[in-house]
Amino acid sequence: MLELLIKHKIVAIIRGIQDEHADAAARALIDGGIALMEITMNTDGAADMIYRWRKRFGAEAAIGAGTVTDMATARVAAEAGAQFLISPNLDEDVIAFGKEKGISVWPGVMTPTEIVNAVKAGAEAVKLFPMGTLGIGYLREIRGPLNDIPILATGGADLHNIGDYLRSGATAVGLGSKLVHMEWIRDGRFDLLREQARRFVEAVNTDQTNQ
């Protein structure tokens, strides 16, 4: 999973989607070039969606669980087949559980102490959150002393600044509503979702080419 994260640099965050629209949305994201998709566990029916997506789309994209805040949620996600677990918080028990089960865990962190503690606990990457509040300058500063830890920067990224995120030290970026527009999904405009995904993938690829 870490290799996929480093290569593709985008995790699509699907939160609050209705089950009836879920498969078409996943198909549109994959067709747009998205290779990692996270269904948040506070979405109704999240476990069933993860299980179904692993069967239907597992050959094309990695399917993970988000908002995994505790062990109970981690167990449900693992049973559903989640390939990675992402949290807004740092729970060392969840990291240990992931290692035991062979599931990548990318815990939520904010401070340098939390980042280092997460890695010591066995996390292969961390989710820096909330980036929309912390800002790119914060990411750039912590990259000085912590330059070898893979960071998934989540919050605040859009088409105009995703390149800035990557150049400032983000290994990858978590994208929620700026990519997964629920209004489009509810209206059945999966063509717009696919095109938005394509734009983000193109922006990442262009940034990597120019480095």
Task: Please give the structure tokens belonging to residue 79.
Answer: 């049973």
Indicate which residue of 9, 124, 127, 178 is catalytic: 127
Q: What residues contact residue 40 under an 8 Å CB cut-off, 6+ apart?
A: 13, 14, 15, 16, 46, 65, 66, 67
Among the listed residues 38, 92, 99, 195, the single catalytic one is: 38
Beta strands in the chain (DSSP E): 10-14, 36-40, 62-66, 84-86, 104-106, 108-109, 126-128, 151-154, 172-175
Residue 127 is among the residues annotated as catalytic for this protein: yes
Residues annotated catalytic, as ranges: 38, 127
